[in-house]
Amino acid sequence: MKLFRTFTLLALAALAWACSPRQDAGKPGADASVIRFATDWRAQAEQGGFYQALATGEYEKRGLKVQILQGGPGVNVPQLLAAGAVEAGMGSNSFIALNLAAEGVPVRAVAAMMQKDPQVLIAHPDQGIERIEDLKGHPILLSDASVTAFWVWLKSKYGFEDSQIRKYTFNAAPFLADKSVAQQGYLTSEPFTIETTVGLKPRVFLLADNGYPSYAAMIFVPQSLIDKDPARVRAFVEASAAGWKSYLTGDPKPGDALILKDNPEMSQDLLDQAREKMRQYNLVEGGDATAGGIGMMTDGRWKTFAEMAIAQGVYPKGLDYTKAYTLDFVRPAGK
């Protein structure tokens, strides 16, 4: 199963988006402290730790000049990284890292700011759906990207079938109109929006709490930067982790202010509840981060994820999944 298009065909578009008057760090004379960090969607709480690190000076105190480049529906972070248009980018799930490895693109995940993917399935509360497996046979609204990502795991673990798929256009109207229908969403977003706009408290199933092994909010970096300036990569990872700690346990106002500036359509109440959900469900500080600290990843977790995807035919059996990531920047220096 091919999960993404070849990057080189769209490299020119990627460069046009990211390389404006800014310096290209790969060129002679470029500022070696600059990191342009491309997010995978419009500014929101799910990126809050990065904005907090920028707002509170965590990047600056480590000698970095960080620019957060807001994503959106027309922005493809892997393409930007593959084209050398940015120094770092955000990855929302582990499939993206394995896609890069499968294509032979020298970009690696260097840290996972979220131990749990916030992806959920949402169902109506009065349909006898008490467990995620009860959704087998129900129509489920899914985006194209989801069909080639977490849907693969749902089919593997619960026997869901492609005949259940309905097209999701990021509009809750079809879900609200048909009680038998479920839809995808983010723990930190759609359930709150549905409840506050129409007064419906939906059943929410967090895939991670049902065994989905994907990391989320990962930092991706080109291998060229890892080879050339590992200290800059380590500084960015450490500053981002500090930003996430501050955003979730300290005063989040500095980060929120930058988020609201970048994305005026965002609201403070949505930010507040999203941050509370991230704390309540241990999205950032649970899992491997409990012992290893924010951003931690492990070989075992990557192995589990890769074996699941390979077993489903997403990748060839010979895929070297270890090319998708490196643990060098989530371990103490020198270890």
- Taking CA atoms, 34 is separated from 66, 104, 237, in Å, by 6, 26, 14
pLDDT at 271: 98
Q: pLDDT for 245-260, tens place per residue? A: 999 999 999 999 999 9
Decide which of 12 and 243 is more confident. Answer: 243
pLDDT at 334: 52
Q: pLDDT for 9-59, tens place per residue? A: 334 334 444 444 344 444 444 577 999 999 999 999 999 999 999 999 999
Long-range contacts of 125-129 (CB under 8 A, 24+ apart): 125/200, 125/201, 125/202, 125/203, 126/179, 127/179, 127/180, 129/182, 129/203
Q: Quick one: 104 and 15 in the same domain?
A: yes
Residue with tokens 């990391």: 215
Q: Quick one: 127 and 160 in the same domain?
A: yes
Contacts of 215 (CB under 8 A, 6+ apart): 93, 94, 109, 112, 114, 115, 117, 297, 301
Q: What is the dihedral of CA 241, 245, 248, 253, to 10 degrees?
A: -90
pLDDT at 32: 77
Q: Quick one: 111 and 219 in the same domain?
A: yes
Worst-scoring range by mean pLDDT, 4-8, 66-70, 127-131, 206-210? 4-8
Q: Quick one: 224 and 112 in the same domain?
A: yes
pLDDT at 30: 59
Is residue 1 included in any domain, yes or no? no
Is residue 2 included in any domain, yes or no? no
- Cβ atoms of 51 and 243 closer than 8 Å: yes
| Total count of domains within the chain | 2
Is residue 329 included in any domain, yes or no? no
Q: Quick one: 225 and 314 in the same domain?
A: yes
- Cβ atoms of 109 and 187 closer than 8 Å: no
- What are 66's two structure tokens? 């960080």
- Give the pLDDT mean for 187-206: 96
pLDDT at 73: 84
- Cβ atoms of 256 and 145 closer than 8 Å: no
Of 181, 210, 239, the residue at which a domain comes to its end is 210
Q: Quick one: 74 and 86 in the same domain?
A: yes
Residue 149 has pLDDT above 70, yes or no: yes
Which band of pLDDT confidence, cut at 50, 70 and 90, is reported for residue 209? very high
Q: Quick one: 14 and 131 in the same domain?
A: no
Q: Which amino acid is at 141?
A: L
Residue 2 has pLDDT above 70, yes or no: no
| Domain encompassing residue 166 | 119-210
3 state SS of 25:
coil
Measured over the CA atoms of residue 231, residue 236, residue 241 and residue 247, the dihedral's sign is positive
Residue 206 has pLDDT above 80, yes or no: yes
Q: Quick one: 189 and 238 in the same domain?
A: no
Measured over the CA atoms of residue 50, residue 276, residue 198 and residue 121, the dihedral's sign is positive
Mean pLDDT score across all residues of the chain:
91
Q: Quick one: 237 and 308 in the same domain?
A: yes
- Taking CA atoms, 240 is separated from 62, 178, 215, 271, in Å, by 11, 42, 16, 19
Q: Quick one: 156 and 172 in the same domain?
A: yes
Q: Quick one: 181 and 297 in the same domain?
A: no
Q: pLDDT for 3-13, tens place per residue? A: 433 333 334 33
Q: Quick one: 127 and 67 in the same domain?
A: no
Is residue 333 included in any domain, yes or no? no
CATH number for the domain that contains residue 198: 3.40.190.10
